[in-house]
Amino acid sequence: MPILSGKARLAGVVGWPVAHSRSPRLHGFWLERYAIDGAYVPLAVAPADFARAIGGLVGCGFAGLNVTLPHKEAAFALCDEVAPSARRAGAVNTLIFRDRRVYGSNTDGAGFLAHLRAEGVDPAAGPALLIGAGGAARAIASALLEAGCAVSLTARRQEAAARLAAALPGLAILPWAARAAALADHALVVNTTQAGMSGNPPLALDLAHAPASLVVTDIVYVPLETPLLCAARAAGLRAVGGLGMLLHQAAPGFAAWFGVDPTVDEALYRFVADDLLRPDPAASACA
């Protein structure tokens, strides 16, 4: 058990609820690997208490926080300064506290791209089709557009898709009913919704006419193998899961808070994945 000194650096993740977060596990892995005098803690904060809690943590000397649902937009609003990544995403998932000021960024898009590249997929190699129009879609779409990738989006809620297109010039909108047919014109498809997450119905997407070169990605990582990924593998397509995005998006915050640029590798992946499998090691969306 690590023993903290009075000079320990402190960071954490804030959400409501927050018990499901794997961020303490992955940051704890890095803290132990690099023998850092510090701690990363989960903080369950109700929305009504969010601004007051952030002020208290700044006053207590915390180095910063990860921000998860439902606080990402509230975090954006209270920042003294936000990075371009956060402005494009319209939300903040990483806070850095310095000289009693709050700096915000959004690492979701960069984490997604880093994971694709680590898997040998060039984000700018061909057109991408994003499914969903929520906060994750906005962050990933903005990152792909900045990387030079043509991006289309389809969502059940056409009004949400239209708002996203208005916020991100260059983003094309496709009808929800045309999503399967549109696969033929894309090199990458990304599920940015919670469809396929444990407890949710699977994403309705017919891959029967997908080109053999299509890369299928899912930002859901519980379960590790979603129905979409299983269907992609069964069709002989390249499938990329969501856990790697979680790991890569965490690295910039860790570097800012603890002064070490951490490595995302197989050992970290297995450490976090083992925790995801622990409730039911036999569970699989492919079963």
DSSP the chain: -----TT-EEEEEEESS-TT--HHHHHHHHHHHTT-SEEEEEEE--GGGHHHHHHHHHHTT--EEEE-TT-HHHHHHH-SEE-HHHHHHTS-SEEEEETTEEEEE--HHHHHHHHHHHTT--TTSS-EEEE--SHHHHHHHHHHHHTT--EEEE-S-HHHHHHHHHHSTT-EE--GGGHHHHGGG-SEEEE-SSTTSTTSPPP----TT--TT-EEEE---SSSS-HHHHHHHHTT-EEE-SHHHHHHHHHHHHHHHHS------HHHHHHHHHHHHTT-TT--TT-
pLDDT-based confidence at residue 279 (cuts at 50, 70, 90): low
pLDDT value for 12: 98
> Does 144 score more than 50 pLDDT?
yes
pLDDT value for 126: 84
pLDDT value for 269: 97
Q: What is the mean pLDDT of residues 90-104?
A: 96
106: Cβ contacts below 8 Å, ≥ 6 apart:
72, 83, 85, 86, 88, 89, 91, 92, 93, 94, 139
pLDDT-based confidence at residue 141 (cuts at 50, 70, 90): very high
pLDDT-based confidence at residue 263 (cuts at 50, 70, 90): very high
Q: What is the pLDDT of residues 54-80, one digit of tens each?
A: 999 999 999 999 999 899 999 999 999
pLDDT value for 282: 40
Q: What is the mean pLDDT of residues 194-209?
A: 93
Tell me the C-alpha distance between 51 and 64, whole Å.
14
32: Cβ contacts below 8 Å, ≥ 6 apart:
2
pLDDT-based confidence at residue 25 (cuts at 50, 70, 90): very high
Q: What is the mean pLDDT of the chain?
A: 94
**49: which 2 tokens?**
């208490």
**What is the reported pTM?**
0.93
User: CB atoms < 10 A from the CB of 261, how many?
Assistant: 11
Indicate the range of 80-84, 243-247, 264-268, 276-280 predicted with least confidence: 276-280
Share of the chain above pLDDT 70, in %: 97
pLDDT-based confidence at residue 209 (cuts at 50, 70, 90): confident
Q: What is the pLDDT of residues 157-184, one digit of tens each?
A: 999 999 999 999 999 999 999 999 999 9
Tell me the C-alpha distance between 250 and 5, whole Å.
24
Question: Strand 94-98 to strand 64-67: parallel, antiparallel, or no bridges (unpaired)?
Answer: antiparallel
Q: 187 with 125: CB under 8 angstroms?
A: yes
The answer to whether 7 is a known catalytic residue is no
> Does 22 score more than 50 pLDDT?
yes
pLDDT value for 281: 42
- What are 104's strand-pairing partners? 82, 95
Indicate the range of 162-176, 243-257, 267-281 predicted with least confidence: 267-281
pLDDT-based confidence at residue 285 (cuts at 50, 70, 90): low
Q: What is the mean pLDDT of residues 3-19?
A: 95
Tell me the C-alpha distance between 93 and 66, whole Å.
6
> Active site residue: 71, 72, 88, 115, which one?
72
